[in-house]
Amino acid sequence: MLTEIQEGKALDSVVRHITQEKINLYAEASGDFNPIHVDESFAAKTPLGGTIAHGMLNLAYVSEMMTSAFGRSWLSGGKLRAKFKEPARPGDTLTIIGKISCVEKKDDISYANCNFECRNQKGETIVIGETIVKVSSDKE
């Protein structure tokens, strides 16, 4: 967990390697068997040219980074806004980075606003977004 909540503070990054096996496992766990994720011959014939990871799998890694940094504050009071820019594919290594962009106080409660980005090994942006986490209350 972060011990210091201040503007510019980087969150510990998360690195994950995407494989078709992991995508298949995620399909089973989530119940999302859309063929673009799990059917390699179907996906090869689409404009995407092959299977892609579920957007929610990529976002799970972002949540992992936020949970490591903020613990229960994230799990019970986090907000997230994400845009999926490019698909993640089997063989990709994703690196999720984030930092606190500002700390705001509203009604005696402090909130950490963070920016995050998920990039592949080529440096392409896969997911980009912002999060907000309640980090302290003067009333507590």
Partner 1 sequence: MSVKTVSYEELIPGYEFPPATYELSASLVSKYLKAVDSEGDGFVPPLAITACAIASMTGSLSLPSSAIVIHASQELEFFKLVPIGATIECRTEVAQKITRGKMSMLILELEVFNKGREKVQSGRATIALPT
Q: Which of 56, 91, 121, 125 binds partner 1 (CB under 8 A)?
A: 56
Dist. CA 132–CA 49, nearest whole Å: 36
> Looking at 40, 75, 91, 125, which residue binds partner 1 (CB under 8 A)?
75
The residue written with tokens 């980005």 in the block is 117
| Distance in angstroms (rounded) separating the CA atoms of residues 124 and 90 | 15
6 versus 34: smaller Cβ distance to partner 1:
34
**Shortest gap between Cβ of 121 and partner 1 (angstroms)?**
17
41 by Cβ neighbours in 10 Å (0-12 / 13-18 / 19+) ranks as exposed
Nearer to partner 1, 8 or 31 (CB): 31
Decide: 110 and 134 in contact? Cβ < 8 Å. Answer: yes
Binding-site ranges for partner 1 (CB under 8 A): 16, 22, 25-26, 28-32, 34-36, 46-48, 54-57, 59-61, 63-64, 67, 71-72, 74-84, 87
